[in-house]
Structure 1
Amino acid sequence: MSSSTSSSPVIIVTGASKGLGLSTLAILCGTPFSARVVCISRSHSDDLLLFQKMYPDQILLVRGDVSVRATSQEAVDLAIKTWGRLDGIVLNAGSLGPLNRIADVDVKDVESLFSINFSSLIHTIQVSLPHLRTSKGSVVMVSSGAAEADYAGWGAYSASKAAMNSLCRTLANEEPEVFSIAIRPGVIDTDMQADIRLRGEQHMAPDAYAKFKGLHTSGALLPPAWPGYVLASLAFNPKTAREQQLSGKFVQWNAKELEEHQNPMSLRK
């Protein structure tokens, strides 16, 4: 494929086959952004393949394990070879991992989770940074309220997201020309929530499990497109957030500071 002469930003999205990642991809490719996107995913879902057919000149697919450095390198190389630039990365790929209490969890399962939720971030950031420095681009990390919570059974997941937030702070300090932000996307209607409802009761406190189950029953889970729009906007052009000195911060998706990056159709939660 030959290089494009378009000036539209080029973004890498990890975990793009479903849920929040897929919504972010769809928003980036559509109006008003019309970005070009390299997607990293472990599998190619029917919905992802459909979007590629809809936007054949805007979407490139890389199939692989994001915890393997070569996968991120392939995505960066593809972006540069095809479009000659890289303007942002959305680090969305993640796993809930082992739901088990600290006394009982298998450390090997914790290490596996950290390879996905934390170490993979460093792989993707490292291979992207030479190009993001040139473009003064953005690193958008999908964090979680669990980073500041103490849900029983979630120790590994919560720690991995807290580590992400720490990484974001440090990256912003070390790379001042690259905008970095960790977004708390709220409780979204995705497969992760279904996993919590399926596996959580055995390990979580009854009130915490009831809370998450109740959000589903009452229809209070967020559509992925709401926080997805914010992720897309920050990756596409973080100018306003940069001016507000939000680089390195952990910010709720619908915070007042991100108002200019939210879809006006989204209702505040």
Structure 2
Amino acid sequence: MAEEVLRLEGLRKSFGTHEVLAGIDLTVARGERIAILGSSGSGKSTLLRCINFMELPTAGRVVLDGEPVGEATRSGIRYREAALCRLRTRIGMIFQQFNLFPHMTAAENVAEGPVSVLGLPRREAAERAARHLSRVGLADKAGQYPSRLSGGQQQRVAIARALAMEPEMLLFDEPTSALDPELVGEVLDAILALSREGRTMLLVTHELGFAYHFATRVLFLHDGRIHEEGTPEQVLKHPRQERTRAFIGRHSTFAF
């Protein structure tokens, strides 16, 4: 069996009286590529944000590499910020918005985390930045500021920035949703290239055709629960649940 890298046990998240995640149980093996689908409000982005603790779960456990995150107490689970900061260096996240520092070049944006968070010498961080910018096809843009880059190029810089931390896992939260249609392909190509390296990746997306080629497993979320899961062939071509079929039917123009 493949080695387990992440396990979620009864994960719940509420905002006030509104429960967004209603009990997620999920085991992720090292090297798996999971596409997460669902309508708006189904809990997809919240799930990713709870995995890297940008949002603290209301209940349930997150287990990373066999170690439960947080300390169990009588009143629940206590999370220490220093421990969560260390965890976030192991789980890279790419957002809808690029969030690059406008006063830094592409290379400086990518090198900043290794310097300020990991404590790498600037020369070593610069070499790491150059290597990862090259991997996403932007070696020639290293000295450019974000304002001189297209949206697709900025998102690829953001991917290189996450890679520069050398995480165990990558989370993508609809990484193409803020892009003009003609720029989507270059970002998806970069993600697909990374997927061939055997990385553990979880991707929230509405690009169903891409999900079919990218994923080893597909999850369909509805009302904060995993409503259906299986291989891309099972979920995208032969869904069992009516809600899954209706969702895919609304996106019937995608190509396998």
Higher strand proportion:
2
Q: TM-score, normalised by structure 2?
A: 0.34
Higher helix proportion:
1
Q: TM-score, normalised by structure 1?
A: 0.32
Q: Answer 1 or 2: higher relative contact order, Cα 8 Å, separation at least 6.
A: 2
